Amino acid sequence: DTGVSQDPRHKITKRGQNVTFRCDPISEHNRLYWYRQTLGQGPEFLTYFQNEAQLEKSRLLSDRFSAERPKGSFSTLEIQRTEQGDSAMYLCASSPRGGLSTDTQYFGPGTRLTVL
Amino acid sequence: GQSLEQPSEVTAVEGAIVQINCTYQTSGFYGLSWYQQHDGGAPTFLSYNALDGLEETGRFSSFLSRSDSYGYLLLQELQMKDSASYFCAVSSAPGSSASKIIFGSGTRLSIRP
């Protein structure tokens, strides 16, 4: 399967713990995006990378959130000191195009985070 | 600021045609996309419009009017499997300091036999 993969698919954690999610994009895609989605809402943009460079970061992303893409391939999203409000589906998407555009983005299955 | 508006719910009959509208406010508009998402699934790309006019892909068509900041998704010959949420999404011009991708809240489409 050459689609976008995410790991883990589900994560349950206690408030205050740190969590890290991984995303493996489609191999030839140089653009990688992270979104957060809550029930009944559309995906909310968090950040995106072109190769290893983080080019855009939402102002909604607090200092507890950090993302990396060290070798321009897979990416990790870390949430420190989780809060109950962080409970959501975290989606990763990749795109072969340059620029921050809404040309075709391929989404992974997501990581569902539940903070108790 | 940037915002999108689309109806929260639409109901239609199998075999019929349905149109889902999307109006947007954004600076440096670049393009309008539509995504489908089934319950529990990931969003999947349907169509993209950068220029005014109609784009057709099988049973789905998408329209854009940049002057009206308006677009729509047209679904024809509706099938039960089309029951899903549909999101419009826009971005401002790539590379600008204000650029980011905005998704609408989604339109939940329910198909009745």
Kindly report, residue by residue over B15-50, the tens digit of the pLDDT.
999 999 999 988 777 789 999 999 989 999 999 888
- Give the pLDDT of residue A100: 47
The answer to whether residue B105 scores a pLDDT higher than 70 is yes
Q: What is the rounded average pLDDT of the residues A76-81?
A: 96
Chain B residues within 8 A of A102 when measuring between CB atoms: 30-33, 48, 89-91, 101
Q: Give the pLDDT of residue B30.
A: 77
- Best probe of the B interface among A101, A104, A105, A112, by most B CBs < 10 A, is A101
Checking if the pLDDT of A101 tops 70, the result is: no
> Mind listing the pLDDT tens digit for each residue in B64-92?
999 999 999 999 999 999 999 999 998 76
pLDDT tops 90 at residue A72: no
Asked if pLDDT for residue A28 goes beyond 80, the answer is yes
Q: How many CB pairs under 8 A join A and B?
A: 71
pLDDT score at A18 = 98
pLDDT confidence of residue A95: 86
A4-A7-A8 Cα angle (round to 5): 145
Residue B96 pLDDT > 50? no
Residue A38: half-sphere exposure toward Cβ, Cα within 13 Å = 5
The structure tokens listed for B18 are: 């349905």
More confident of the two residues B83 and A45: B83
State percent of chain A over pLDDT 90: 66
**Which residues in chain B (51-80) have CB-CB distances under 8 A to chain A?**
none
Contacts of B43 in chain A (CB under 8 A): 43, 91, 93, 105, 107
Model confidence at A43, pLDDT cuts 50, 70, 90, reads very high
Task: Report CB contact under 8 Å: B48, A41.
Answer: no
Instruction: Please answer yes or no on whether B101 and A33 come within 8 Å at the CB atom.
Output: yes
Which residues pair with residue A45 across a beta bridge?
A35
* pLDDT beyond 50 at B10: yes
Flag if B89 and A42 touch (Cβ within 8 Å).
Answer: yes
The predicted pLDDT at position A48 comes to 87
Q: How confident is the model at residue B98 (pLDDT cuts 50, 70, 90)?
A: very low
CB contacts under 8 A, A 50-89 vs B, are: 56, 58
Disruptive mutation site among A32, A39, A89, A102 for chain B (greatest number of B CBs within 10 Å): A102
Nearest by CB: A107 against B30, B42, B106:
B42
pLDDT over 50 (residue A7) = yes
Bridge partners for A27 per DSSP: none
Give Cβ neighbours of residue B94 (< 8 Å, ≥ 6 apart). A98, A99, A100, A101, B30
Query: Can you tell me which residue has the tokens 């969590």?
Result: A19
pLDDT tier, A9 (very low <50, low <70, confident <90, very high otherwise): very high
The phi, psi pair for A86, rounded to 5°, reads: -80, -10
